[in-house]
Amino acid sequence: MSDTSIAMGSPSEPLRFHVEGEHHVENGTLLGFWLYLMSDCLVFACLFAAYGVLGRNYAGGPTAAQVLELPVVAVNTTLLLLSSITYGFAVLEMQQNRRAPMMAWLTVTGLLGAGFIGLELTEFAHLISIGAGPQRSAFLSSFFTLVGTHGLHVTCGIIWLITLMVQVGKKGLIPANKRRLMCLSMFWHFLDVVWVGVFSFVYLMGVLP
């Protein structure tokens, strides 16, 4: 490979490899985590497809327009979007190696995420209490599976967030912790991306007449 490059360049020019511009991936963790997110994306794609197929099969039960409450979803969407930007602020503080403000932003992110989960659980409890549980119809089965899986991911994200805050508290902003925080950053923003699909495809389009 290098022999070819040398043969092609004139003697006066400095030696160049044709791979010069490429940055070798020194730590594959972020790429590996990205690949995990993409496989997770396929899981959600299957659940979205199931909802797309079954979402109008009410079996004589309540329809999406009857049971889904958009104001709650609007608040939930706001909470998740805000938690995305506060995690972004935490990453900015991390880049500056400012630990205390970073931890503060992570706390805000966790609280916003917890608020999201709380509202979602309230909504689920309300649906089940009025007899619109997952066993009522194919629509509700696919709805609970899709939205519940997303909620489960957010819950895992919050647990991960708390774990990382404890780790940063004990060991500081060492490179390993920065790497973990970047992985969680990708995970958290990815969940917001999935939520965009959920509120558009399930809630907004479901409520339309």
**Which residues are near another protein by CB under 8 A?**
2, 6, 14-17, 20, 22-31, 34-35, 38, 41-42, 45-46, 48-50, 52-53, 58-60, 70-71, 74, 77-78, 81, 84-85, 88-89, 91-92, 95, 175-176, 178-179, 182, 186, 189-190, 192-193, 196-197, 199-201, 204-205, 207-209
Closer Cβ to another protein, 100 or 208, answer by number: 208
Q: How far is the CB of 13 from another protein (least distance, A)?
A: 11
Contact 153, 80 (CB under 8 A): no
CB of 114 vs another protein, minimal distance in Å = 20
Provide, rounded to whole angstroms, the least separation between the CB of residue 4 and another protein. Answer: 13
CB contact at 8 A, 93 and 105: yes
CA angle 46, 50, 54 (to 5 degrees): 175
The nearer residue to another protein, 59 or 121, going by C-beta atoms, is 59
Handedness of CA 135, 136, 140, 141 (dihedral sign): positive
Of the pair 13, 129, the CB lying nearest another protein is at: 13
Smallest separation (angstroms) from another protein to the CB of 5: 9
- 134 by Cβ neighbours in 10 Å (0-12 / 13-18 / 19+) ranks as middle
Q: Helices 99-129 and 70-95 sit at what angle, rounded to 10 degrees?
A: 160
Cβ proximity to another protein: between 165 and 182 the closer is 182
Tell me how crowded residue 29 is: count the other CB atoms within 10 A of its CB.
13
d(CA 157, CA 151) in angstroms, rounded, equals: 10
Closer Cβ to another protein, 125 or 193, answer by number: 193
